Amino acid sequence: MGVEAIGFTQVREDDGVTGSAVEVAPFGKAGDPCAELEAVRAGGVLDVADEVAPGADLTVGLAGNRAGEAVTVTVDGFEPTTVVADGTGVASATVAVPADAERGEVAVSAVAAGTRRTAEAVVNVRDASTTTLAVNPTTPKLGQKVTLTATVAGGDTAGTVEFLDGKKSLGTAAVASGQATLTVKGFKAGAHSLVAKFGGSAVTSASQSIPVEFVLGKGVTATKVAGPKKVGKGKKYVIRVAVTGAAGEEKLTGKVKVVVKGAKKATRTVTVKANGTATLTFVAPNRKGKLRIVATYVGAGSYKASTSTVKVVNVR
């Protein structure tokens, strides 16, 4: 048969107890011995939360037991609790965690009485925390610098806060005296939803603020064209375009389209520089007349489109 033919053997009487004797915990109804042996060797997996707050209840579950089998649940530092598995083999115990319980990691285990199958886990006893977020100014403008302040309360608040705009991380800051602060250069046009997430610590749980939401409209721009009043026939001339309206740290981007109408129509499209300007060189036609020049900033990112007034250049 071999030395591993029998995995576990327990013998007991179920004819009751007398006197002051304590009845042995029920072993439950045995199942297929090979399957039970395999289960014992594999161990169990506890159904338990990663953390619990002092003063709250901790529920510990273990499935895969015999129906009617006693399971003893032990949380380090607390009295063991014995429960009986239900008809599906699930045992569930509730352990009250005192408000003055020591913070930090505690070991949790469950042992089945009949098979001695064991499962273990680690649970963190952590104080609950709350995080609130303040935005200054409360109604930001496009590209305006904004200060984000997170206030963390509850337990030991040493740690860091991450500030997010939707799923985008804006940065992190350390908590000092219950507060973490981050300055943001500015926000683009569109909808924004800001939250602050406290990452927690060994003795304090993580928490997240409710969102601070606002919508920024696109900025208004103005486009101007500058150039010579007159130019000789067939000569080169330079047209300068300036787009204004950039707000704070939100730079202008995009393209300008310049259309020259006259003896011969010409159209050019170029990208504006970081300062909102563009310079283009054209060649005048070989006959006298007037050139009418219009520039249009097509709009991009956080800024609306705009069109210049007509610039007239005389060809002589």
pLDDT of residue 314: 95
**pLDDT above 60 (res 55):** yes
Instruction: Output the six-digit token pair for 39.
Output: 């289960």
pLDDT in tens, 80-116: 999 999 999 999 999 999 999 999 999 999 999 988 8
Task: Please tell me the least confidently modeled range out of 6-20, 33-47, 71-85, 192-206.
Answer: 6-20
- 72 close to 25: Cβ distance less than 8 angstroms: yes
pLDDT of residue 24: 58
Task: Please tell me the least confidently modeled range out of 14-28, 148-162, 173-187, 289-303.
Answer: 14-28
What number is the average pLDDT over the span 183-206?
Answer: 94
Q: CATH: 3.30.70.2860, 2.10.10.100, 2.60.40.1080, 2.60.40.10. Which one for 222-315? A: 2.60.40.10
Q: Do domains 33-123 and 222-315 have the same CATH topology?
A: yes
pLDDT in tens, 258-316: 999 986 788 999 999 989 999 999 999 999 999 999 999 999 989 999 999 999 999 99
pLDDT of residue 41: 84
Q: Where are the domains of the chain?
A: 33-123, 130-216, 222-315
pLDDT of residue 277: 95
b/e 61-76 (16+ beta carbons within 10 angstroms → b): bbbbbbeebbbbbbbe
pLDDT of residue 11: 55
**pLDDT above 60 (res 128):** yes
Question: The domain at 130-216 falls in which architecture?
Answer: Sandwich (2.60)
Q: What percent of the chain has pLDDT over 70?
A: 92
Tell me the pLDDT of the chain averaged across its residues.
Answer: 90
pLDDT of residue 262: 86
**pLDDT above 70 (res 30):** yes
**pLDDT above 90 (res 28):** no
pLDDT of residue 1: 45
- 311 close to 293: Cβ distance less than 8 angstroms: yes
Fold held by 33-123: Immunoglobulin-like (2.60.40)
Give the integer Cα–Cα distance in Å for 313 and 311. 7
Higher pLDDT, 13 or 93: 93
